[in-house]
Amino acid sequence: MKRLSLVSIALLAGSVAQATDLNLTARSGGNTTIVVAPGATVNYEVVADLSDAANEGLAYFRFDASFSGGPLAKAAEPSTSPMLNFVAPLGFSNPAGLGGTVSGGNLLQVGGAQNTINNVFASAPVGTVITGLAKPGNSLVVASGTLTAPVYVGSYTLSLSNVDANVIKQGETGFPFWACEAVDTTTVTNLTVKVSALSANVTTVSASAPAPVAFALNGGLPWANRPYVLLGSVRGTAPGVSVGPNVTLPLNPDAYLNFLVANPSNALLSGNVGSTNALGQANASFQLPVGAPPAAIGLKISHAWLTTARDFASDAATVQIVP
């Protein structure tokens, strides 16, 4: 039997068709992880990317969506090309449209398809197929919408699932129709929404030349015009202290926390007692005293705020003392 040469094997291997994969990415402002205030309105989009150019572009897609922070509203219906070609009358979609069907707070069957059958008899679909969509270097925003972040601090996820898609086969010309094939695999990158209500302008403070640490309190509209108090601890943030039903202040009890509770007006904190404004915002600062002892080097000081009604507590902001 005649053996195949290495060249022949390489040629045969190269002739094997490469399956196309699809990746869907949920993002906001170009990022897959964002930090927002409680109750913030978040704009998001879902972007499609095909793994290779061994096709003529995206022909059809579908996915479901859910948000761990609450119910989703229907995604937006497209108003411009090329996504208009995925909804009637130019294309196909489910009866509720490309934005999906709301069911139990989730979105089902977001998506649509182009007129790859070249229909000319019925009233829809009647669009002209657009090729090259979502191929490498041509990312395609296939859906967009808004969601509302929860009013409580935490990390939440906009998740995509049940993804299905077809691509137009490579070399198709549209006569008599556009032959399609399913993508091989689908991968998903979800959007993480972190709800935060406190930030500090630095992460370290110098013991030899301590500058004020500026805090930005941002409870958002749900916590606007609310009296608050800013507290602190040097013993960490977990497990914290339960201050009300389902509300935990992320500060462990210690002498510093007890001092601040007993002495709301002090030289260490400024703006630590007050009311948020109409946007749920306020400012405060921490001033490390000059001449901190050597034992303080490396110490981590955490602060967090809560409403005096104890129905809300922020996340913690931590700074470390350095030489």
For the cut 50, the answer to whether the pLDDT of residue 2 exceeds it is no
Structure tokens at 242: 């339960």
User: In this predicted model, what pLDDT tens digit does every residue of 190-205 receive, in sequence order?
Assistant: 999 999 999 999 999 9
59 and 203 share a domain?
no
pTM: predicted TM-score of the whole model, two decimal places: 0.90
249 and 153 share a domain?
no
CATH of residue 261 = 2.60.40.10
Contacts with 161 (C-beta within 8 Å, 6 or more apart), sequence order:
63, 64, 65, 66, 188
How far apart are the C-alpha atoms of 284 and 215, rounded to whole Å?
Answer: 5
**pLDDT, position 10:** 25
47 and 173 share a domain?
yes
27 and 142 share a domain?
yes
56 and 155 share a domain?
yes
**pLDDT, position 164:** 97
- Angle formed at CA 294 by CA 290 and CA 297, multiple of 5 degrees: 85
For the cut 80, the answer to whether the pLDDT of residue 322 exceeds it is yes
Please give the residue range of the domain that contains residue 300: 198-322
CATH of residue 51 = 2.60.40.680
Domain boundary residue, one of 163, 195, 227 = 195
| Residue 269 and residue 286 in contact, taking contact as beta carbons nearer than 8 Å | yes
Domain boundary residue, one of 195, 210, 227 = 195
182 and 229 share a domain?
no
For the cut 70, the answer to whether the pLDDT of residue 17 exceeds it is no
How far apart are the C-alpha atoms of 72 and 94, rounded to whole Å?
Answer: 18
25 and 120 share a domain?
yes
Residue 160 burial (CB < 10 Å; 0-12/13-18/19+)? buried
**pLDDT, position 291:** 84
User: In this predicted model, what pLDDT tens digit does every residue of 116-172 receive, in sequence order?
Assistant: 999 988 988 999 999 999 999 999 999 999 999 999 999 999 999 999 999 999 999
User: In this predicted model, what pLDDT tens digit does every residue of 248-282 receive, in sequence order?
Assistant: 999 999 999 999 999 998 999 999 999 999 999 99
**pLDDT, position 18:** 55
Answer whether residue 1 is part of any domain: no
Residue recorded with tokens 């960490």: 236
Residue recorded with tokens 């399956």: 19
HSE (side-chain half, CA atoms, 13 Å) at 26: 26
283 and 155 share a domain?
no
Answer whether residue 3 is part of any domain: no
44 and 182 share a domain?
yes
**Taking the CB of residue 282, how many other CB atoms lie within 10 A of it?**
20
pLDDT bracket for residue 105 (50, 70, 90): very high
DSSP of 253-304: --HHHHHHHH-SS-SSEES-EEE--TTSEEEEEE-PPSS--GGGTT-EEEEE
| Residue 230 and residue 297 in contact, taking contact as beta carbons nearer than 8 Å | no
Domain boundary residue, one of 173, 195, 217 = 195
**pLDDT, position 7:** 30
Query: What sections of the chain are H helices per DSSP?
Result: 6-14, 255-262
pLDDT > 90 in the chain, percent: 89
User: In this predicted model, what pLDDT tens digit does every residue of 222-235 receive, in sequence order?
Assistant: 999 999 999 999 99
How far apart are the C-alpha atoms of 24 and 316, rounded to whole Å?
Answer: 33
For the cut 50, the answer to whether the pLDDT of residue 99 exceeds it is yes
pLDDT bracket for residue 3 (50, 70, 90): very low
**pLDDT, position 12:** 27
How far apart are the C-alpha atoms of 86 and 81, rounded to whole Å?
Answer: 9
User: In this predicted model, what pLDDT tens digit does every residue of 161-178 receive, in sequence order?
Assistant: 999 999 999 999 999 999
159 and 145 share a domain?
yes
Q: Count the domains in the chain.
A: 2
Answer whether residue 6 is part of any domain: no
User: In this predicted model, what pLDDT tens digit does every residue of 273-316 receive, in sequence order?
Assistant: 999 999 999 999 999 998 888 889 999 999 999 999 999 999 99
**pLDDT, position 120:** 84
User: In this predicted model, what pLDDT tens digit does every residue of 28-74 receive, in sequence order?
Assistant: 999 999 999 999 999 999 999 999 999 999 999 999 999 999 999 99
Residue recorded with tokens 């296939």: 142
Answer whether residue 261 is part of any domain: yes
